Structure 1
Amino acid sequence: MSTHRELREQLGVYALGHGEPAERAALRAHLDGCTDCRAELATIAPLRDRLAGVDPDRLDELPVPPVGLGDRVLAGIAAERVAVPTRPHRRRRVPAAAAAGIAAAAFGVGWLVRPVPDPLPLEPVAVQVAAPQVQATADVVPHTWGMEVQLHGEGFTAGEVYRAQVTEDDGRVVSAGEFLGTGPAEMVCNLNSSVLREDAASFAVLDSSGAVVLSSSL
């Protein structure tokens, strides 16, 4: 348990592409046999690309509101005061409405000036389908922590467990996760593997009997 906890604490460093080669190799070996850590790595991994889009020099900058925003907010408050009857129990609602308007405007400004990361570098790959009822396409996304396969498809038997795997150039087979078939409904599935894109030779999806349903040479 102690070793598992120590390795799990290294997942963040591993996802960012850091760590000593021996530590990264030990963690890759652990990921091959630990579904919990693979699931946690899949959750952490997308944050790495978002962090890469953040400009450290702008972290202390305050959002600058658009020109005239203050005047528009004040004008809206004044118009609301005119529209609301002057009964005492209604006047008390005006400050709350004004505060809500200012908060909404501030949120909108912050959203507009937020750092937006670059889109992921999708690499379309050819897919060979062995099951006649299955239709599928796939894109590969390279990461510093491994490789992601974005699988779009339909016709996978509803409720059946399918297993994905990536084969390295040296023939080593590494798990890329599992998913449930959705029948005729369209399915979008993100599969993650610790194999780096440059080391990957192919990937495949197998059904519950171990038969290859689809494959792709990379």
Structure 2
Amino acid sequence: MTERGEHRRVREQLGWYALGHGTPEERAGVRAHLDGCAACRAELAELTPLTAWLARVDPDRLDEPQPAPPAGLGDAVLARIAAEGDARRGPSRRVLAAAAAVGIAAAGFGVGWLVRPVPPQPPLEPVAVEVTTTGIEATADVIPHTWGVEVRLVGEGFTAGAVYEVVVTDEDGTPVPAGQFLGIGPAELRCNLNSSVLREDATGFEVLAADGTVVATSEL
């Protein structure tokens, strides 16, 4: 396969790779490509944060009907709009009907949002962070997920405007991208970073400056 064809094939696999899918051989092949392809690493960094939301989706609940809006809501909305319309010389009935429909739909969505099931929060695991650059302070928690591990990093002193990359190291010593963030100087920085490495396979993480220098590290 040509280099261009290999690049396209791996790009098509980044979605399932970010979700932690694939055989060990398939994942090893993708990691090998990522080691030498900055474009694919950047694309994976953009995809990885979305996996946290996808992991919360319950497929069994997708077909359930949404809760109905409270009884009398439609009449109340129409009455309110009609009263305001009279004060402004009255809009057309078509406008009133359209506004009422929007109000009822919005209310139905709001009720559905309030009664939605809230999954239990996963446990936070505080980890020690060793800073290797003067002026930077950092702490972190890691959270195990079914799709990988999440790193919640809190710090200050990261150079304002500078790009930092976070990688999680797996049991084979392979660094797997977990995302990037911009430094904001002395202000406190909080960011959530996500890697497809499962918690039981993760041995640590590193924060890298744009030139590849390790500015902070942690053993898990």
Partner of 1:133 in structure 2?
135
Whole-angstrom CA distance in 1 between matches of 2:194 and 2:80:
54
Partner of 1:56 in structure 2?
59
* 2:10 is equivalent to residue 7 of structure 1: yes
Structure 1 window deviating more from structure 2 (139-148 vs 24-33): it is 139-148
* 2:30 is equivalent to residue 27 of structure 1: yes
* 2:150 is equivalent to residue 148 of structure 1: yes
* 2:75 is equivalent to residue 40 of structure 1: no
Whole-angstrom CA distance in 2 between matches of 1:89 and 1:83:
8
SS of 2:206's partner is strand
Shift in Å, 1:154: 0.9
Flag the 1:101–1:38 CA change in 2: closer, same or farther, 3 A: same
Query: Gaps spanning 5+ residues in structure 2: where?
Result: none
Query: Gaps spanning 5+ residues in structure 1: where?
Result: none
RMSD across aligned positions (CA): 3.2
| TM-score, scaled to structure 1 | 0.77
Which amino acid in 2 is paired with 1:135? E
Partner of 1:97 in structure 2?
99
Whole-angstrom CA distance in 1 between matches of 2:83 and 2:196:
63
Sequence identity (%): 60
Whole-angstrom CA distance in 1 between matches of 2:87 and 2:167:
69
Whole-angstrom CA distance in 1 between matches of 2:22 and 2:141:
28
| TM-score, scaled to structure 2 | 0.76
Partner of 1:81 in structure 2?
82
Higher gyration radius (CA): 1
Q: In the comparison of the two structures, how many residue pairs are matched?
A: 215
**Residues 142-187 of structure 1, C-alpha deviation per residue, up to 9 Å, x if partnerless?**
34554432221111222344444444455x3515455443211222
